[in-house]
A and B are shown apart, each in its own frame.
Chain A
Amino acid sequence: MDIQFKGEHLLPGQIGQFFIVLSFGAALLSCISYYFATTEDAGKTDSFWQKLGRISYFVNAVAIIGIGTCLFYLIYKHFFEYHYAWAYTSRSLPIYYILSAFWNGQEGGFLLWLFWQAVLGIVLIFRSKSWERPVMTIIALSQVMLASMVLGVEIFGQRIGSSPFLLLRQSMEAPIFSNPDYLSFIKDGQGMVPSLQNYWMIIHPPTLFLGFAAMVVPFAYAVAGLWQKKYKEWISQAIPYALFACMILGTGVVMGSFWAYESLNFGGFWAWDPVENASIFPWIVLVAGLHVMIVFKNSGHSYFTATFLVLLSNVLTWYSSFLNRSGILGETSVHSFTDLGMFWQLITGIMLFLVLSVVLLVRRYKELPITKKDEETYSREFWMFVGSVFLGLSCFHMLVVTSVPVWNEMFKTKMAPPSNIKEHYNVIQASFAFVIAVLTGIAQFLKYKKTDVTRFFITTGSYLLMAAALTALFAYLSGLYKLNFVFVLLMWGSLYAVIANGKVLIDAIKGKFKLAGSAVAHIGFGLLLLGAVISAGTQSVISVNNTGEAYSAEFAKEENPRENITVYRNQPIKMGDYMVTYLGDSISSPNHFFKINYKRVDAAGKVTEEFTLKPKVQVSKGSLAASPDTRHYLFSDIYTHITLTNAITPVEAGSESAEAAHDADNDDKNYDAPIAHEVKAGDTIKYRDGYIVLKALNKETKVQNIPLTDSDVAIGADLEIVSNGNKYSARPVYMIKNGNVFDFARKVDDAGLKLRFSKVIPEHKTVEIVVFQQPESKKKFVVMKAIQFPYINLFWGGSIIMVIGFFMSILRRKKELKVV
């Protein structure tokens, strides 16, 4: 029997679902129409099929905007009957995060990808002229594949895709859904995971997906070229699009890296996590492909490699999507991704593009313009080719390691990734990067076809020597020489790349401006490598814990890196060159900021530098997520990250184990055994963290709204507490009322003290002050980790310069291009 559910808003979901089906159907029609426009109407200027293809592509784009609008509407309206709205948003989520909740789920990611691909397709309809029909066939095909990922329709008992318009009650089984009024129990959504509530969440995914979507354009041109036997022509058409794809995807990846560095606790800018690696496979391969395309354009060599790499780049885009979304990385990645049950569908996506590429290459192989002539050894084309192959090898290595779970699945093995995986990647990838960096310089000094050998050797040799001298200096200063020799080599290579391309840039400004784009991009690449090798190689944990408490004899024997330090509130501790103090907290839900003060003190005891960092911990539904804060200098960064704290109260953390902390009887339990001191005015009491001075005893007239009569006595003790250089004051009170003795203790929470004025001893003319001090474990503390990243700005600066270089190259290639 069907249940009539109350309060559900089914209409927006149904409209959305209609748009999904419409976008799928329109894309399919567009693909078929363009196919017939290419084959049946070849040579005709006025093609019915082309018109149909265009119209259906526009319908597809409109439908995608419709899907987006519906999805946004139900997120914005907090319709928690939809799984998507329930899982990623809540009523308290600010509007800009509601916008980014759109791509929080995997379906949203696909929608973003669809949207960008629709936009790129429309650009191509207007700009690609005679290439429109074959190229758009492929773009529309890709659009069909993507749309099927969000279809959410069952065909022959097999669910195709996962729709963002799935209802909550359809997405999971729970007894509550047998209640027609279930919605009244679901007051709020799960909300966005705190660590995603960050401005990078708004900008990073759209950029990344634009990059992924752009990968299909050069691929479509390559397929069109092979299909239409326009073997040579497609290459110069595709170069600007390939540059665009590399620029955007590169920007997206670096944004992710910056996000991880700035506000996630990955402890660096690149963690070699499988998900990160997967996102740069297509980038590396297309960058390699781009170079070989330019080689072919200028010399007629390396046709097959260029085509192969461009085709491969898009296949890898789908492969990386498969790795990230199929859940196969489960045991090797820190990013936990749920399997939406689309394992085989994602594989179909890869196979579609792979089979298409292979079939075309095999069928057209004999006709391909492959030169029989050998390249000149001293020619730019040869060394650009070599460099691109090394880029490919670097990607190959990353692919082999990252795909270990895939090999296990395929061959039923039980291989695990290398146990010291970062070191493994660093050493091997640094070797490849060294070769590539050196070649970026060498190839620039050579000319296409033939070069004057003697002059080449003299210039290259002198620049290599110059770079070597600088490397010796830098490696010594930064301490890099202590590490694996490969890193010194990489430093040499990247310095050489910067210097050599700097020379090319100067020449370019003087006259040959055409080369400026590549020179700038290569300088950026060199700086990026330099920054990466120095900061990753010589980053140092400054929060070294020297307490060295041993737990077992065996444990103490090992030299374990003790990278976390415990800092008690208001108790300065020395950490490296700094005195560090945990000053206090500030809370603005869901963020709990910790004020960590850093002071650099010189030998004379003078404070030469002082700053306060505010790393935060985000609290949500009883789980905590820490975000670091970083002090940026031009040449290094100090990164501070809270690993643990007891300062977050259970109430704030939403846990049910909140104790009745202020129960007076139990309060003394929070302190060490009290110590009584017999003192008179002016005396000093010493305690663990400092001392207390009894300034004076004063007669009180009124104690907390208790009226005093003439026979009553109330005395206040003026106490001054000095703890770790901070002064506090407190005034406990002693009172005799109606013959009974009372005393009013005073707490100094910042110093972890409770003070009682418990007795007056007339015979000695003294009083008794009882000092309760909190044991170390009850005092508020944070456990933190601080890392110094030297020269990290070279990495970010290099990335930006590289993107600028790509942009300059796009402008140049666009000018050169004649679209027919």
Chain B
Amino acid sequence: MKKSSIFGLVVIAIAIAVIISVYANSSTYGSFNDATKTTSELHIVGHLNKAKELYFDATKDANYFSFYMKDNKGEERKVVFTGTKPEDFERSEQLVLTGTMVGNEFHASAILMKCPSKYQQGELKTTELKAKSASI
């Protein structure tokens, strides 16, 4: 067998190993309901319930932040995040949490939030403009 063929086989083996390891490592997107059934980390997509309390008091503990999120199936849970409240959290349109359920709380190890205007500003604030043009 030619050396390059052997090497080719090794490369294919490594490529397969990479795919398998990525697949094995990959988690899934799920809901809070799914999270109660498993102990492994899940990604949950949802949005912040802005009507409920966002608890963060830096004077007591700057590493404790809790809020309520509704997942895409409409189920709502309290979420606890060990860290500071992210900037502009209230303005988030969508949240992607990574973490596990602990009792009735979801403990997030990471929060990824989608804000409409972090780097791109694509929305016109029509509310204030409407009032002015209404009289004409």
B62 x A565 contact (CB < 8 A): yes
Q: Is B18 an interface residue (CB 8 A)?
A: yes
Given A331-B96, A337-B120, A418-B22 contact (CB < 8 Å): yes
**Which residues does chain A contribute within 8 Å of B11, judged by CB atoms?**
389, 393
- Whole-angstrom distance between the Cβ of A433 and the nearest chain B Cβ: 14
Nearest chain A CB to B114 CB, angstrom units:
6
**Contact indicator A105/B120 (Cβ below 8 Å):** yes
Main secondary structure of the interface of B (DSSP, over half): mixed
With A396-B18, A419-B109, A558-B107 known as contacts, the answer to whether A566 contacts B28 (CB < 8 A) is no
B62 neighbours in A (Cβ, 8 Å): 545, 564-566, 643-644, 783
Q: Which of A173-181, A532-540, A578-586 contacts B (4 or more CB under 8 A)?
A: A173-181
Query: Across the interface, which residues of A come within 8 angstroms of B122, CB to CB?
Result: 87, 338
Cross-chain contact A564 with B83 (CB below 8 angstroms): yes
Stretch in A250-258, A620-628, A696-704 touching the partner: A620-628
What distance in Å separates the Cβ of A129 from its nearest Cβ neighbour in chain B?
35
Q: Is A577 an interface residue (CB 8 A)?
A: no
Question: Please, which residue of chain B has its CB at the minimum distance from the CB of A330?
Answer: B114
Query: Across the interface, do B121 and A87 meet the contact criterion of CB distance under 8 Å?
Result: yes
In the complex with contacts A337-B120, A564-B83, A781-B58 CB distance below 8 A: yes
Known: A396-B15, A558-B107, A623-B91. A416 touches B119 (CB 8 A): no
Specify which of A181, A190, A389, A414 is in contact with B121 (CB 8 Å cutoff).
Answer: A190
* CB–CB B84/A400 < 8 A: no
Residue with the highest number of chain B CB atoms closer than 10 Å, among A196, A336, A566 = A336
Cβ–Cβ < 8 Å partners of A555 in chain B: 64, 80, 102, 107
A154 adjacent to chain B (CB < 8 Å): no
B132 touches A643 (CB 8 A): no
What distance in Å separates the Cβ of A318 from its nearest Cβ neighbour in chain B? 21
B11 to chain A, nearest CB (A): 6
Answer yes or no: A428 CB below 8 A from chain B CBs: yes
B87 within 8 Å of A (CB atoms): yes
Of the residues A386, A416, A545, contact of B29 by C-beta under 8 Å:
A416
A331 touching B118 by the CB < 8 A rule?
A: no
Nearest chain A residue, comparing its CB with the CB of B45 = A331
Check B59–A781 contact: CB distance below 8 A. Answer: yes
Give complex CA distance A625, B22 in Å.
34
Instruction: Please determine whether B3 and A377 come into contact, CB atoms closer than 8 angstroms.
Output: yes
Residue from A182, A331, A416, A551 in contact with B61 in the complex, judged by beta carbons closer than 8 Å: A551
State A565–B82 Cα separation when bound (angstroms).
12
> Smallest CB–CB gap between A75 and chain B, Å?
14
Binary contact readout B72-91 vs A (1 if CB under 8 angstroms, 0 otherwise): 00000000101111011001
A179 CA / B64 CA spacing, docked (Å): 49
Contact of B64 among A377, A382, A551, A565 (CB under 8 A): A551
CB-contact partner of B60 in A549, A558, A623, A644, under 8 A? A549
B43 at the interface (CB under 8 A from A): yes
- In the bound complex, how far is the Cα of B135 from the Cα of A176, in angstroms? 11
Q: Are B83 and A185 in contact (CB under 8 A)?
A: no
Please name all residues of chain A whose beta carbon is closer than 8 Å to the beta carbon of B64 when the two chains form the complex. 549, 551, 555
Q: Which of A174, A417, A428, A552 contacts B21 (CB 8 A)?
A: A428
Given A400-B22, A644-B62: A193 in contact with B82 (beta carbons within 8 A): no
Q: Which of B7, B59, B91, B102 contacts A776 (CB 8 A)?
A: B59
CA distance A776 to B64 in the complex (A): 17
* Cα separation A554 to B104 with both chains bound (whole Å): 11
Tell me how far the C-beta of B112 lies from the nearest C-beta in chain A, rounded to whole angstroms: 6
Return A215 CB to nearest CB of chain B, in Å. Answer: 24
Residue contact A562 to B82, C-beta cutoff 8 Å? yes
A738 at the interface (CB under 8 A from B): no
Residue of A nearest to B55 (CB): A551
Say whether A172 contacts B133, CB under 8 Å: no
B73 to chain A, nearest CB (A): 13
Please tell me if the beta carbons of A625 and B87 are within 8 angstroms of each other in the complex. Answer: yes
- Are the CB atoms of B119 and A335 closer together than 8 Å? yes
B43 touches A185 (CB 8 A): no
Q: Which of B3, B58, B107, B109 contacts A783 (CB 8 A)?
A: B58
Q: How far is the CA of A555 from the CA of B55 in the complex (A)?
A: 15
Q: Are B15 and A393 in contact (CB under 8 A)?
A: yes
Q: Considering only CB atoms, which chain A residue lies closest to B43 in the complex?
A: A416
Q: For window 90-133 of chain B, which residues contact chain A by CB distance below 8 Å?
A: 91, 96, 98, 102-103, 105, 107, 109-110, 112, 114-124, 126, 129-130, 132-133
For B109, list chain A residues within 8 Å (CB).
419
Within 8 Å by CB of A563, from B14, B41, B63, lies: B63
Interface pair A554/B129, CB less than 8 Å apart: no
User: B residues within 8 A CB of A172?
Assistant: 123-124
Whether A564 contacts B21 by the Cβ 8 Å rule is no
Q: How near does chain A come to B123, taking the closest CB pair, in angstroms?
A: 8
A404 near B105: Cβ-Cβ < 8 Å: no
Task: Please tell me if the beta carbons of A416 and B115 are within 8 angstroms of each other in the complex.
Answer: no
A730 is an interface residue with CB less than 8 A from chain B = no
A646 at the interface (CB under 8 A from B): yes
Nearest chain B CB to A543 CB, angstrom units: 9
User: Which residues in window 1-31 of B have CB below 8 A to A?
Assistant: 2-4, 7, 11, 14-15, 18-19, 21-23, 25-29
Residue A88, interface by CB 8 Å: yes
Q: What 0/1 readout, one digit per residue, does chain A (354-392) give for beta carbons within 8 Å of chain B? A: 000000000000000000001101000010001001000
- The residue among A185, A424, A547, A555 with the most chain B CB atoms within 10 A of its own CB is A555
With the chains together, A566 CA to B85 CA distance in Å? 13
CB of B27 within 8 A of CB of A418, answer yes
Shortest C-beta distance, B74 to chain A (Å), equals 18
Given contacts A415-B26, A549-B61, contact A185 B119 (CB under 8 A): no
> In chain A, what residue has the closest Cβ to B126?
A174
Q: With A and B bound together, what is the CA distance between A565 and B87 in angstroms?
A: 16
- Tell whether, in the assembled complex, residue B2 and residue A374 are in contact, meaning their CB atoms are under 8 Å apart: yes
Residues from chain A with a CB closer than 8 A to the CB of B3 are: 374-375, 377, 382
Is B136 an interface residue, CB under 8 A from the partner? yes
Taking the nearest CB of chain A, how far is it from the CB of B125, in angstroms?
A: 9
- Are A417 and B26 in contact, CB atoms less than 8 angstroms apart? yes
A428 contact set on B, CB distance < 8 A: 18, 21
Residues of chain B within 8 A (CB-CB) of A418 are 22, 25-27
* A195 partner residues in chain B, CB cutoff 8 A: 119
Q: What's the Cα separation between A336 and B28 when bound, in Å?
A: 21
Contact with B along A311-339 (1 / 0, CB 8 A): 00000000000000000001110111110
How long is the Cα–Cα vector from A160 to B57 in the complex, in angstroms?
Answer: 50
Could you tell me the distance in whole angstroms from the C-beta of A647 to the nearest C-beta in chain B? Answer: 11
Q: For the complex, give the distance between the alpha carbons of A603 and B59 in Å.
A: 30
Contact with B along A554-581 (1 / 0, CB 8 A): 1100101111111000000000000000
Closest to A645 in B: B58
Asked if A397 lies at the interface with its beta carbon under 8 angstroms from chain B, I say yes
Contact A393 B84 (CB under 8 A): no
CB 8 Å contact bits of B48-74 with A (1 = contact, 0 = none): 000000001111111110100000000
B18 contacts which chain A residues (CB < 8 A)? 393, 396-397, 400, 428
Name A143-177 residues within 8 Å CB distance of B. Answer: 168, 172, 174-176
Measured CA separation A644–B57 after assembly (Å): 10
Contact between chains at A643 and B21 (CB < 8 Å): no
Given contacts A87-B122, A561-B82, A623-B88, whether A566 and B58 have CB atoms under 8 Å apart is: yes
CA distance A565 to B63 in the complex (A): 8
Q: How far is the CA of A435 from the CA of B22 in the complex (A)?
A: 20
User: Which residues of B are found within 8 Å of A338, using beta-carbon distances?
Assistant: 120, 122
Please list 6 pairs of residues, one from A and one from B, whose beta carbons are closer than 8 Å in the complex, sorted by A's number: A105-B120, A178-B133, A393-B15, A424-B25, A547-B61, A644-B56
Apart from A179-B136, A417-B43, A623-B91: 11 A-B pairs, beta carbons within 8 A: A176-B126, A185-B132, A336-B116, A336-B118, A400-B22, A555-B80, A558-B107, A566-B58, A643-B62, A644-B84, A776-B59
